[in-house]
Amino acid sequence: MARAVDAWLTHLDVERGVSRNTLTAYRRDLARWTAHLASVGVDRPEDVREAHVSDFLAGLREGDEHHQPLAATSAARTLVAVRGLHRFLALEGVLDADPARTVSPPRPPSRLPKAIPVEDVERLLEAASVGDTPASLRDRALLEVLYGTGARISEAVGLDVDDVEGEDRVVRLRGKGGKDRVVPLGSYAAAALSAWLVRGRPTLAARGVGTPALFLNARGGRLSRQSAWSVLRACAERAHLEGHLSPHTLRHSFATHLLEGGADVRVVQELLGHASVTTTQVYTLVTVQRLREVYAQSHPRAR
């Protein structure tokens, strides 16, 4: 089983360009899967049966003395790794049939993406502009890019200086699966990036050994995802924004505000880098709910 896992992860890394974070998560999930198989005396892929996969999924949901019960979304993610492994082995001819093919992941509860009002976004961005230090210029530029492009946090911190085309006001984002997309930069994001590149980045870059990264930390290296989270949390506290606020909240707000402004769902799909429009369509439910609220508050015969 260990050799099979290594072969699949190598395939994902070399042939499909899966991100390092995804590979790490898959390796962790499959370590739990192979441990489960070892506990029932199975150590070869060809000995795995559908019942083993079903029992493993049930164990994920119930937990045991070493593991807490997993939520439906976490259990489903783990099952994705298991199914991906055995589908690969079947396609490679290692297995005659895929034992995990008919095991369905648990259905997570339906949750609408959480977006914050435009007024709260503006408060957040203003809170990032404390003084004219390199750090404050970076923080404002980072948050403007997250909200102005709908970038994932990994895409934003993965940006290099050459990915920003100032004259055309576009930025090239590297999405999941190695898929690049070009997203326009609004005037506010473009101005914040220009201020950071001219007045802020050179100071921090002088402290490092040279990196093409767009966003830098205090030592002149590439800003990490964890540090970007800290920037957002600090700005949210200064803006007195209550509730859980994450980089993904800005991505959700980007999509929701575009649709509320009349953007076509297919355009939003391209901007977000979604492979399927079905993923994007969940945002239309958010805007319909907003329409209901406005109608209920505004129409004299709504109540």
Tell me, yes or no, if 152 is annotated catalytic: yes
- The count of residues in the chain is 303
Tell me, yes or no, if 251 is annotated catalytic: yes
Q: In the Cβ-directed half-sphere of 253, how many Cα atoms lie within 13 Å? A: 21
Residue 59 CA to residue 57 CA, distance in Å, equals 5
Out of 67, 199, 207, 248, the active site residue is 248
Out of 36, 86, 251, 257, the active site residue is 251
Tell me, yes or no, if 111 is annotated catalytic: no
Alpha helices by DSSP H, listed for the chain, are 2-14, 20-39, 50-62, 72-91, 118-127, 134-149, 153-157, 187-195, 201-205, 225-238, 247-260, 265-272, 277-280, 282-298
Out of 176, 222, 225, 238, the active site residue is 176
Tokens of residue 247, six digits: 């980089």
Q: Tell me how far apart the terminal alpha carbons of the chain are, to the nearest angstrom.
A: 62
Tell me, yes or no, if 274 is annotated catalytic: yes
Q: What is the DSSP string of 95-117?
A: -SS-TTTT-PPPPPPP-PPP---
The residue assigned the tokens 């946090």 is 153
Out of 32, 83, 86, 152, the active site residue is 152
* Distances, alpha carbon 52 to alpha carbons 42, 43, 136, in Å: 9, 12, 53
Out of 11, 114, 238, 274, the active site residue is 274
User: Active-site residues: which are they?
Assistant: 152, 176, 248, 251, 274, 283
